[in-house]
Every structure is written in C-alpha cells, then in structure tokens.
Amino acid sequence: MKNLVVLLILFSAIVLSGQNSRNNVFEYATGTWCTSCACGHLEINENIAPFFPNTIFIAYHSGGADPFSQFEGNEILMDLGFGALPAAIIDRVSSIMPHIDWLEALTDMSSVPPMVTIEATTLYNVSERKVSVSVTTSALEDLDETYYISLVLLEDNIISPQAGSEFCPGGDDFVHNNVARVMLNGAQGEEIWSGGTWYTGNELTYNGEYTISEDFDEQNCRVAVIVYKHRIPLQKAHVQQAISVDVIDGTIPVELESFNIYNNSGIISLEWSTATELNNKGFEIARSTDGSSYEKLAFIPGSGTISESSYYSFSDNPKSNGKYFYRLTQVDLDGKREVLGIKSVKVNNPSDYRLAGNYPNPFNPSTTIKFGLPEVSDVKFSVYNIAGEKIEEFNYSDRPAGDNIINFNAAGLPSGLYLYEISSSFGILHGKMILNK
C-alpha cells in the first residue's frame, strides 16, 4: 500500500465465540442447476436458520454449469465425501444427509459443548482488497491428537438463477447465501497443534493475509473460522468450535491522500484528497479556538463509493486574530463518524484600518491599491477627478480581515491626477494616483 495518511480504510471487525455455546458447522453441497437443491435452500432459510442463529452455514456449489462451483479449494467436496445433491454434514462427524434429515440432526447436535474458544479479527485494506485475519483459540479442556484451523471466505446476497420446482421455487433472481468463494488456507486448512497435550487455557494464534477478488462484493463477505480435530477421512473429523466474522464490519473506509491548510491574507483554505471511498456521505468541517470545543462550519458532500482520487476544498474567514484549529470528520451513509485529521493555523491580521497606497504610481493603464481591514467589511471604492467629480465607483461585499487589494484599470480615462477613497464600516481612506499615458 502506498505511503499515505491512511485512516482506517484499514478497518477491523472482532468476533468472540461463546465459552459454553457451540456454533455448529453446517456444510452442505448444492448446485444452481439442481432442482431439488432449491428445497435445501428452503429448508435452511425457513426451518433451520431462524431457530439456530449461531450455526455457521457453508454452501459448497458443485457442477460445471454452476457459476460458483469453480472456487479455490473445491476438492473439499470430495474430501468430505459429498455425492448426490443436496446433502449436508454437521460438525464433520455426522453422516452425509439428505435435506429431509437436516433439522433433526442439527437439533440433536446443537447441545454438544465446544472444546475450544475462538477470537477472530479481520482488517481490510480497501485499495489493495486485502483482508488480514488474526485468530486466537484456547482449549477449554486438555486436548490430545492433531488440530487444524480452516478459513473459508463466504459471500451472501448473490443474485443468480436457481433451478426449482412447484414445491421448491427457484427463479432468475434467486438470492444465494453462505456461498463458499475461497478456502483461504487450503481445502483442509492448516495444522495448529500436534504432538502432545493442548492444555486447558493454552492459547494458540494464527494469522493470514488474503486478496479478495474483484468478482466478490466485500461488503457481503464473511470469513468462517473452524477449529477441528483432524482425522482421515475428513468426514470423521470433529469440529471443536467455529465463528464467522465480517470482512467489513460496517465502518466506512476513506483513504486520505492529503490534508493541507493555507492562510491567504486571512482567508483560511482547507484542501484534502482521498484515494478511495466506500459509502461516504461526506465531510464535516468544524473550527475551534482552543483545540477542544468545536463549532460546525460546513458539510461537504462525499463521492459515495469510488476507487479513484477525489479532491475537496473549503474556505473560512475568521473575524479575529489568533490560533484556529480545523477538524475534518468523515461521515458514512449510516451516520457513523471518523475524525480524519486536525490542522491548526495562526491568523495575524492588521489591527488597524490603513491604506498602503497604490503601485505602480504613476501608472498606465492599471494600478493596484492595497489596504488593510481589522475585520470583515463591505467596501466601496470611488475615483474622482481633480475637480472633485466622481467618475468611477465599485462595491465589494464581505472583504476579509487583513490585507486586501483592488485592481483599477484607467484605460478609458485621460492622463492626469486622480483622487480615490475607500469607504468601509471603519471609515474612509483617501489616496492619490497619477495616470501617465
């Protein structure tokens, strides 16, 4: 990742498994071409998932006509012994079952206590589409044999055709959930313990970094983390515990490329740019004189979701001298907020109302009049000939505190001496200028 000011565009989610509650792993084989597989989806959605909300469902798609079947690590289907579809195995200890037996089997196995606890953290980098997964698992009692950890990338809310029947409807706009996209650390995972006793309370850690394909919607992706006792064949292994953690936890990532502040004669300019944005509603600008108590100045709309650079700016005109703090806060579409940065600047405008004259003088045909204002004011600039007749008048609204300039072009006037005055809420300033053509 490029060396930017990155404010958690790297963003994280943390999930802990319950100490005494098992999250059963329900792995099932299915296919979009399979008419009866729609019955399996119906059984899960209506009769199982609502009553077993902690269950980790994993859908392994199979069959050449299925767009989700060519996932990395799809040999897991053969390793688990799947054949006819739809079929499922629970915690890798049950037999391979048709969908009519799923509810009863899960009911029986839901009371089996876990043997380990799991804590998992994901950290997602939007611009690089990489997710880092950190896992800590601890034994709840002394455990022997060999133990593996398996990480499975799942995606929900995929709209794709599904074959169906009169009793189990499919359709072109069928919603597929729990779709196995990638076996992140291999079809069977990786070994985390072997050779001796894994003592009660002993913590093991596992870390990995993985790239999320652009074909996947990371907002709908989860990582299933499974710790199991490894045996051959795999369908005789025994899941000890499992959890599921979102790739994105809902915090809106914005990658800040730059954030700068400028003082231009009392006009304060904030400029910032982003490398990427995701569900970004916009930016709130707030100002403070002490760095702790802020007043909101403006809200600048964001670019929503975008993977290219965006540029923003805001100008402020403080009325008094002193040090000012400007806070930039990002707001996502759900109302969540993240302070992106705070910049400070000193304003030291003239405390007196003064005229610095015009330059060049004599001039032809243009000259610049410079004057100072102690505070913001409307200004009127008037030009008179030597007889005292007003020949030009210009009005300016809300001229800022500090140094100001007025550019005067006398191309239409004859050579000679001219008088001018600057009127504001602080009084009238007088000056002379010579046009020499």
pLDDT tens across 257-307, in order? 999 999 876 789 999 999 888 888 999 999 999 887 889 999 999 998 887
The CATH architecture to which 354-435 belongs is Sandwich (2.60)
Q: What's residue 351's pLDDT?
A: 66
Q: What's residue 5's pLDDT?
A: 38
What residue has token string 């072109």? 172
pLDDT at 9 over 60: no
Q: What's residue 367's pLDDT?
A: 95
pLDDT at 14 over 80: no
Query: Residue 322 corresponds to which tokens in the numbers above?
Result: 């002193």
Residue in 185, 177, 189 with CA at minimum distance from that of residue 221: 177
What dihedral do alpha carbons 46, 47, 52, 55 form, nearest 10°? -70
167: buried, middle or exposed (CB in 10 Å: 19+, 13-18, 0-12)? exposed
pLDDT at 376 over 70: yes
Specify the amino acid at residue 79.
D
Half-sphere exposure of 120 (CA within 13 A, CB side): 28
DSSP state of 255: E
Q: In 265-321, at which residue ranges do the beta strands (DSSP E only) sit?
A: 267-288, 295-306, 310-316
pLDDT at 18 over 70: no
Task: Confirm whether 254-347 and 354-435 share one CATH topology.
Answer: yes
Whole-prediction pTM:
0.60
* Residue pLDDT, tens place only, 203-249: 999 999 999 998 998 889 999 999 999 998 998 999 999 999 999 86
What dihedral do alpha carbons 259, 263, 268, 269 form, nearest 10°? -40
Q: What's residue 310's pLDDT?
A: 93
**Taking all residues of the chain, what is their mean pLDDT, rounded to a whole number?**
89
Q: Is the four-CA dihedral 73, 75, 76, 77 of positive or negative sign?
A: positive
pLDDT at 7 over 50: no
Mean pLDDT of 406-424: 94
Which of 64 and 31 is assigned the larger pLDDT?
31
Which of 414 and 126 is assigned the larger pLDDT?
414
What CATH code is assigned to 254-347? Answer: 2.60.40.10
Which of 350 and 325 is assigned the larger pLDDT?
325
Q: What's residue 251's pLDDT?
A: 47
* Residue 182 β-bridge partners: 72, 153
Q: What's residue 347's pLDDT?
A: 81
* Residue pLDDT, tens place only, 114-163: 999 999 988 887 778 889 999 999 999 999 999 999 999 999 999 999 99
- The kind and range of the H/E element at 325 are strand 322-332
Mean pLDDT of 345-352: 76
Q: What's residue 20's pLDDT?
A: 61
| Rounded Cα–Cα distance for residues 170 and 65 (Å) | 16
Residue in 54, 26, 32, 56 with CA at minimum distance from that of residue 158: 32
Q: Confidence class of residue 427 from pLDDT cuts 50, 70 and 90? A: confident
Which of 17 and 350 is assigned the larger pLDDT?
350
| Rounded Cα–Cα distance for residues 230 and 225 (Å) | 15
Q: What's residue 183's pLDDT?
A: 98
pLDDT at 397 over 80: yes
Contact by Cβ (8 Å): 282, 302: yes
| Rounded Cα–Cα distance for residues 224 and 221 (Å) | 10
Residue in 298, 293, 305, 308 with CA at minimum distance from that of residue 328: 298
Percentage of the chain surpassing pLDDT 70?
Answer: 93
Percentage of the chain surpassing pLDDT 90?
Answer: 69
Query: Residue 412 corresponds to which tokens in the numbers above?
Result: 């239409």
* Residue pLDDT, tens place only, 308-318: 889 999 999 88
Q: What's residue 337's pLDDT?
A: 84
Got the DSSP string for 386-436?
TTS-EEEEEEEEEEPSEEEEEEEE-TTS-SEEEEEEEEETTEEEEEEEEE-
Query: Residue 135 corresponds to which tokens in the numbers above?
Result: 């896992």
Three-state DSSP state, 101: helix
Q: What's residue 3's pLDDT?
A: 35
Got the DSSP string for 199-249?
-TT-EEEEEEEEEPPTTS-GGGEEEEEEEEE--SSGGG-EEEEEEEEESS-
| Rounded Cα–Cα distance for residues 129 and 119 (Å) | 23
Query: Residue 51 corresponds to which tokens in the numbers above?
Result: 């009553």
Q: Domain residues of the chain, as ranges? A: 5-246, 254-347, 354-435
